[in-house]
Amino acid sequence: MITPAVSFEFFPPRNLDQSFRLWDTARALAPLGPDFVSVTYGAGGTTRQLTHEAVTALASHYGLNVAAHLTCVDATREDTMQIVADYAAAGVHEIVALRGDAPQGQDRFTAHPDGFANSVDLIEAIAARGDMTVRCGAYPEPHPESPDTSADVAWLKRKSDAGATSAITQFFFDADTFFRFRDQCHKAGVTAEIIPGILPIQSWAGARRFAERCGTSVPAWAEEAFANAGKEGEARLALDVCVKLCEQLVAGGVDKLHFYTLNKPELVLKVCGALGVTPKGEIPNAA
C-alpha cells in the first residue's frame, strides 16, 4: 500500500485554552509534513479576524503551508478581496473558497447586496489574481440545500471551471460513497483534484451531530458498532474504523487524505502512523 500525502484542518481559537490546544495540535502534527493545513471560518463570518490571526501564526511560526478558509457571507466584494490581498502580503497563497453558512438566526444564505453571490463567483475572482491556489468544498452526499448528488457534481464542475484546482469533500463513513462521487465527477469532466475529507471520530455523539448538520448519512453498521462498543471501547473502535476507511480509499487509488482534526491531534497521529505517515523532522520551534 502506498503512503498517502496528508493535510489537516484546524479551527481558530476563541479563548486562551483553545489557543493552547491549537498550538499543541499544530506542534504535534507539523512534523508529519502535511501538504497543507486549513483554518476554518466561523458561520456568518464570525471568526474572520481569528481565522486571519491563526493562519498567519501557523504560516510564520510553524513553517506550514496554510490554506485560509474564506466565505461570501456578510461582506462586500471589496472587503473580501482585501482579505485575500492581506493574506498574499503575509505570504499565504492558498484559499479554501466557500459560499459559507447563513449567519445565526437566518434559515438560508443570502448574498450581501455588494458581495459575491456564491462560491463560483468568489473562486473566479480569487483565481483571476493569478497568485493564489484556490481550493473548494465538495459533497459526496447531497448538500442539505441540494436536491441530489448530480446537482452537487454539476456545481463542483462550475467551481472547477472557475479556477479551483482541488476540492476537499465533506466527511463520509463508507469508501464507496466517495468512489461513486469521484466517478461521477470524472464523468462530468471535473478537472479539480478531489481529496476525501476524513473525520476521525473523537466522540460518536459528536460525529452523529456533525453528520445530521451536514447531510452525511450514518450507516446502520456504524450505529450498531458504536452502540455495542460503549464508552470503554469507543476509542479503539474509532481508530479501527478510521484506519480501515483510509486503507480502502488508498487501495482505490486515493493518494491524498484531508483530516478534520477538531484541534485534537492524538487520534489523528495514531491513524497516520497506521498508514505509514511518520514524522519527517524535528518538531518546529514556535518561538
- What are the catalytic residues? 9
Distance in angstroms (rounded) separating the CA atoms of residues 101 and 154: 20
Distance in angstroms (rounded) separating the CA atoms of residues 64 and 36: 7
Residue at grid coordinates 456568518: 44
Cell (9 digits) for 55: 493562519
Q: Rounded to the nearest 10 degrees, what angle do helices 119-129 and 77-89 cross at?
A: 40
* Long-range contacts, 281-284 (Cβ 8 Å, 24+): 281/31, 281/33, 282/31, 283/27, 283/28, 283/30, 283/31, 284/27, 284/30, 284/31, 284/61, 284/62, 284/63
| Number of CB atoms found within 10 A of residue 108's CB | 7
